[in-house]
Homo-oligomer: A and B are copies of this chain.
Amino acid sequence: MKVSKKAYYGLRAAVSLADADGPVSARELAERERIPEEFLEKILQKLRRSGIVESKKGVEGGYALAEQSVSVWDILRALDGPVRTFTPPLGKGTLPCDFPSHCRTNDVLRRLEEEIEKTLSGVTISRRSERNQESGMKNEEKAVLSSPDS
């Protein structure tokens, strides 16, 4: 049970992008974060297809966060695929319970999935510019990963 290197790199890249001003090229980002460049490019492309970052080609191009704020959950799901704690490919609703132990085991694992999702969705990466503009009301218990405004 682990987070892949791909996701770990992706997470760090996103945090780095959140702290940056304009678009950052893959090369630059790779250097900043000490991530193999070609590999990072693949990661960024996946994040782009998931709508998490946006890219601009050409001379002054690069990558930037697409939304004001992304959750860690979104990034992990985009890169590592869906969290599937139980191996048989079961949709949310239908759990075939051939044997008594299956149902109960699957039940726990599903509960775990929900817990993981809840935890990870609560942690977000926000762009500096947009920080603290989000929640209109009182300061929600929402952790932010990117660098604090100091």
Contacts and interface: CB of A to CB of B under 8 A. Distances in A.
Given A2-B1, A87-B2, A98-B34, A123 B147 contact: no
Interface stretch (A11-19, A39-47, A54-62): A11-19
A101 B19 contact: yes
B32 A86 contact: no
Interface in A103-135: 104-105, 107-109, 111-112, 115-116, 119-120, 123
B99 A3 contact: no
A85 interface: yes
A89 to B, nearest CB: 11
Can you list the 8 inter-chain pairs with the closest CB atoms, starting with the nearest?
A15-B101, A115-B119, A3-B85, A12-B101, A1-B83, A16-B101, A11-B105, A2-B84
